[in-house]
Structure 1
Amino acid sequence: MKHLSFSLILFFCASLSFAQHKNFDKKLADSLSADKYGMRPYVIVMLKTGPNKIEDKQKMASLMRGHLDNIGKLAKEGKLSVAGPFFDKNNRDYRGMFIFNVKTTEEADALVKSDPAVAAGVFSYESFKWYGSAALPMYLRYHDKISQENP
């Protein structure tokens, strides 16, 4: 009886794993550059407090407006999948994070350097290769439908 119960559980689990692939959409997977696991490489960039502190409030406001505009531009171009600030200070001076839809840290570094706040030294950064769901960029399609205002 124990063997029969174990066999039924094993069969059930195996059938669930096969069912997960039932909805596989090859066209969508290919359009997102997904591998056989539905994953792909990205580059995560951690923005950190930079070496320069800008005291002029108008200059700082202009740099931050440029920072936000650059984020929007890179997202529209499909280069940036995720961006956002951290709520709290931390012991590594991390201020925010980008997930770039690129394969190399060199590509991501070039994109980060197009940010006026990075160029002015308000932010510095660290880049890391990362492996995540190929569907990640799709969430941006829905963001505009749920946000009432732009920053």
Structure 2
Amino acid sequence: MMKKLLITLSVLACFMSCKEAPKTNSTDANDKIDIEVDSTKIDVVEETPVKKTTQQIKEELTSKGFKVFDYVDEKTQDTILMQQYFMAFLKRGPIRNQNEEEAALIQEGHLAHLGKMYELGYADISGPFGDDGDIRGITIYNVPTLKMADSLAKSDPAVKAGRIEVEIHPWYAAKGFPLR
């Protein structure tokens, strides 16, 4: 008798575990998507980013050492959070007598450095100017201190080679506003 009860419970448990759960509308921060691959149904959970309040962003930035302030937009009455960044002006350096091959290698290292700064989250935007002036381009560093921005900028192979120099200034921009 006990043996039959255990077998019945095992079969029932197996049946219940194989039964597909009913679909419900999720109110969580995650959305579930069904994808079929080679006739096999796969559930993929996509996380919806949790939107932080301005106050949470401000606290997070100040805890990391960033300087911030906010102001109220007169038109919209929205509170705008301003964050300090550091704008590095990349200027023509004193040593520009490299041959074409050396200059190309330095430029390759320079571009790799800027790409790495972006990937690591230290620089938000970089680019050259369209004229042939002494100021060759800019990089905007998203770091808490001038010392850190200066150190990162001076680790650029083009700066080390003397091909460019950097001049860095603190600069404020509205946090989270995209370029247009």
Equivalent position of 2:143 in the other structure: 102
Unaligned ranges ≥5, structure 2: 1-50, 62-67, 71-79
CA offset digits 1:37-92 (Å, max 9, x no partner): 221000000000000013311111110000000011010110001100000133xx
CA RMSD of aligned residues (A): 2.4
Give the SS at the match of 2:98: coil
Equivalent position of 2:128 in the other structure: 85
Taking only the aligned residue pairs, the percentage that are identical comes to 34
Residues 1:129 and 2:146 are matched in the alignment: no
Q: 1:125 and 1:26, CA in 2 relative to 1: closer, same or farther beyond 3 A?
A: same
Equivalent position of 1:120 in the other structure: 161
Relative to structure 2, which stretch is displaced further, 55-64 or 42-51? Answer: 55-64
Asked whether the equivalents of residues 42 and 102 of structure 1 are also in contact (C-alpha less than 8 Å), the reply is yes
What is the distance in 2 between the residues matched to 1:63 and 1:89? 18
Residues 1:26 and 2:67 are matched in the alignment: no
Residues 1:58 and 2:101 are matched in the alignment: yes
Instruction: Give the alignment partner of residue 82 of structure 2, picking from 39, 42, 62.
Output: 39
Alignment-mate amino acid for residue 60 of structure 1: A
Asked whether the equivalents of residues 154 and 166 of structure 2 are also in contact (C-alpha less than 8 Å), the reply is no
Alignment-mate amino acid for residue 112 of structure 1: A
TM-score w.r.t. the length of structure 1 is 0.66
Q: CA deviation at 1:110?
A: 0.2
Q: Kindly indicate whether structure 1 or structure 2 has the higher relative contact order, using CA contacts under 8 Å at least 6 residues apart.
A: 1
Asked whether the equivalents of residues 93 and 164 of structure 2 are also in contact (C-alpha less than 8 Å), the reply is yes
Relative to its length, the structure with more helix (as a share) is 1
CA offset digits 1:12-53 (Å, max 9, x no partner): xxxxxxxxxxxx950796187365422100000000000001
Relative to its length, the structure with more strand (as a share) is 2
Q: 1:96 and 1:28, CA in 2 relative to 1: closer, same or farther beyond 3 A?
A: farther
Runs of 4+ in 1 over 6 A off after TM superposition: none
Asked whether the equivalents of residues 29 and 38 of structure 1 are also in contact (C-alpha less than 8 Å), the reply is no
Equivalent position of 2:119 in the other structure: 76
What is the distance in 2 between the residues matched to 1:29 and 1:94? 37
Q: 1:25 and 1:41, CA in 2 relative to 1: closer, same or farther beyond 3 A?
A: same
Equivalent position of 2:152 in the other structure: 111
